[in-house]
């Protein structure tokens, strides 16, 4: 039996401990630990959740890495084609961190109804397109089917554009494509709306409609194997720069690459601020919790000064007595962490399930506070808080070594 642990357990279990002068201070310390854990869990889960959700939306419209002709300017209007006949397509062997590669081509246009018109970008996709993101965004109708041999006229349009143009499922819309090299004026294409999506990212919803890539190829007078770009998706976004460099070094000299972090620099810089805010909240919560634990430990030592003197008089050394009070204080930390995790994770699960807290999509690019729950950061947060509290508690416990047994026994 560990002597110090045994004494600490007896102190915690005693009735005097729960009704002592230090009881209110102990409760405050537990509440401080619990609230600190709740705040840290919420800040990490919502901060990471927002970063993940916004990144997924940007990736849905662009891929994680874009491969285009070296002479292009990475605009949303594909002007200089590249061939699909590449060593890395369709089986991408350059990097093991790539999960998918797909072909796209885009062209600016004006979509018009009898009463309204909007400038748009028609994004052409092929039969290799991964619809997983738009399956999540879909609010009405169905996704287009571009796997048929016949050139279809189906399009997927955003609810933002549908509302502004006053169109719905099954409606036919005229789209005008302008070409500076053509003397015949704009060319017209008629499309049928088969699906309506809402990504919540208005910057994209206000521009993009999704159509068959063969329309873009015909409008640009390209061959069947000519496209505007390859979109590459990676399995670990944190490694995107390294993956991008690897891809760039292993593709032809006529091709160039760009990450969405580089293309949408301002968005990702804004998201990076969340890392600083999360770190600041964690530091502040640990400092507040640490000071409360220091106060609680000093009160516990003061309240049991006579016991300290008796233990020293019976032969216990300073470190042995210090361990008793450190065990006692760490018990309070564990109780606080338990309630903090229970409340914090519970609130996050409720938000993830019922979306009780809305956000302004014009500011945050999402309409609900997203939640990212993962055991890794929960365990790291608990272990880190416990270890830091333990180190902090070593400082005030040092006062025990300065207590004289004679004076402590006579202390009242």
The pTM assigned to this predicted structure is: 0.84
Residue 133 lies in a domain: yes
Q: Count CB neighbours of 26 within 10 A.
A: 25
pLDDT in tens, the chain (412 residues): 577 878 778 777 766 555 566 678 888 888 999 999 999 999 999 999 999 999 999 999 999 999 999 877 667 788 889 999 999 999 999 999 999 999 999 999 999 888 888 999 999 999 999 999 999 999 999 999 888 877 889 999 999 999 999 999 999 999 999 876 656 668 899 999 999 999 988 889 999 999 999 999 999 999 999 999 999 999 999 999 999 999 999 998 899 999 999 999 999 999 988 889 999 999 999 888 888 888 888 888 888 778 878 888 888 888 888 888 888 889 889 999 999 999 999 999 999 999 888 888 778 888 888 999 999 999 999 999 999 988 888 888 888 777 777 666 665 5
Same domain, 7 and 129: no
What pLDDT, on the 0 to 100 scale, is given for residue 134? 94
Asked whether 107 and 79 are in contact (CB, 8 A), the reply is no
Same domain, 374 and 273: yes
Same domain, 330 and 381: yes
Domain end, chosen from 198, 217, 252, is at 252
Residue 289 lies in a domain: yes
Same domain, 221 and 85: yes
Asked whether 59 and 233 are in contact (CB, 8 A), the reply is yes
Q: Count CB neighbours of 393 within 10 A.
A: 23
Residue 263 lies in a domain: no
Q: What angle do CA 136, 139, 142 make, to 5 degrees?
A: 85
Same domain, 275 and 222: no
Q: Quote the strand ranges of 271-326, DSSP E.
A: none
| Beta partners for residue 98, in sequence order | 234
Same domain, 40 and 155: no
Same domain, 243 and 282: no
Same domain, 276 and 244: no
Q: Is 214 exposed, middle or buried (0-12, 13-18, 19+ CB in 10 A)?
A: middle
- The angle that helices 305-313 and 265-303 make with each other, rounded to 10 degrees, is 70
d(CA 130, CA 56): 13
Residue 66 lies in a domain: no
What pLDDT, on the 0 to 100 scale, is given for residue 29? 86
Same domain, 203 and 351: no
d(CA 217, CA 207): 20
d(CA 139, CA 135): 9
Domain count, the chain: 2
CA dihedral sign, ordered 242, 245, 251, 255: positive
Residue 262 lies in a domain: no
Residue 62 lies in a domain: no
Same domain, 92 and 235: yes
Domain end, chosen from 252, 278, 307, is at 252
Asked whether 68 and 79 are in contact (CB, 8 A), the reply is no
Residue 285 lies in a domain: yes
Same domain, 25 and 117: no
Structural domain range at position 31: 3-56+268-409
What pLDDT, on the 0 to 100 scale, is given for residue 60? 93
d(CA 188, CA 182): 13
Helix H or strand E encompassing 117:
strand 117-125
Helix H or strand E encompassing 256:
strand 255-259
Residue 163 lies in a domain: yes
d(CA 48, CA 42): 10
Same domain, 48 and 97: no
Asked whether 68 and 82 are in contact (CB, 8 A), the reply is yes
d(CA 399, CA 318): 10
Structure tokens at 158: 């955003």
Domain end, chosen from 222, 252, 282, is at 252
d(CA 371, CA 41): 10
Q: What are phi and psi of 188, to 5 degrees?
A: -110, 140
């Amino acid at each position: 039996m560990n002597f110090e642990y045994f004494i600490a357990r007896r102190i915690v279990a005693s009735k005097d401990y729960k009704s002592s002068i230090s009881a209110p201070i102990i409760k405050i310390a537990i509440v401080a630990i619990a609230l600190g854990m709740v705040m840290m869990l919420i800040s990490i889960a919502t901060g990471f959740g927002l970063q993940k959700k916004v990144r997924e939306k940007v990736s849905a419209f662009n891929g994680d890495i874009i491969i285009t002709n070296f002479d292009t300017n990475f605009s949303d209007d594909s002007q200089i084609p590249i061939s699909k006949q590449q060593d890395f397509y369709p089986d991408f062997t350059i990097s093991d961190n790539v999960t998918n590669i797909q072909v796209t081509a885009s062209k600016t246009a004006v979509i018009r109804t009898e009463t309204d018109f909007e400038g748009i970008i028609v994004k052409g996709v092929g039969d290799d397109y991964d619809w997983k993101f738009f399956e999540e965004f879909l609010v009405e109708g169905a996704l287009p089917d571009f796997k048929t041999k016949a050139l279809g006229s189906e399009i997927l349009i955003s609810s933002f554009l549908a509302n502004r143009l006053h169109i719905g499922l099954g409606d036919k819309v005229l789209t005008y494509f302008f070409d500076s090299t053509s003397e015949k004026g704009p060319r017209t294409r008629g499309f049928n709306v088969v699906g309506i999506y809402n990504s919540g990212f208005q910057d994209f919803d206000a521009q993009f409609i999704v159509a068959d890539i063969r329309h873009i190829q015909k409008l640009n007078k390209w061959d069947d194997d000519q496209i505007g770009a390859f979109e590459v998706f990676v399995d670990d976004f944190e490694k995107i720069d390294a993956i991008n460099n690897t891809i760039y070094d292993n593709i032809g000299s006529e091709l160039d690459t760009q990450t969405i972090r580089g293309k949408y620099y301002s968005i990702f810089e804004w998201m990076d601020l969340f890392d600083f805010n999360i770190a600041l909240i964690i530091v502040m919560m640990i400092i507040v919790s640490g000071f409360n634990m220091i106060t609680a430990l000093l009160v516990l030592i003061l309240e049991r000064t006579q016991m300290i003197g008796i233990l020293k008089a019976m032969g216990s050394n300073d470190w042995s007595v210090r361990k008793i009070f450190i065990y006692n204080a760490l018990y309070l930390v564990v109780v606080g962490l338990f309630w903090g995790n229970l409340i914090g994770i519970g609130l996050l699960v409720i938000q993830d399930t019922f979306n009780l807290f809305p956000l302004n999509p014009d500011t945050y690019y999402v309409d609900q506070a997203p939640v990212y729950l993962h055991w890794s950061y929960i365990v790291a947060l608990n272990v880190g808080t416990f270890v830091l509290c333990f180190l902090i508690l070593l400082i005030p416990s040092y006062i025990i070594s300065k207590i004289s047994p004679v004076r402590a026994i006579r202390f009242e």
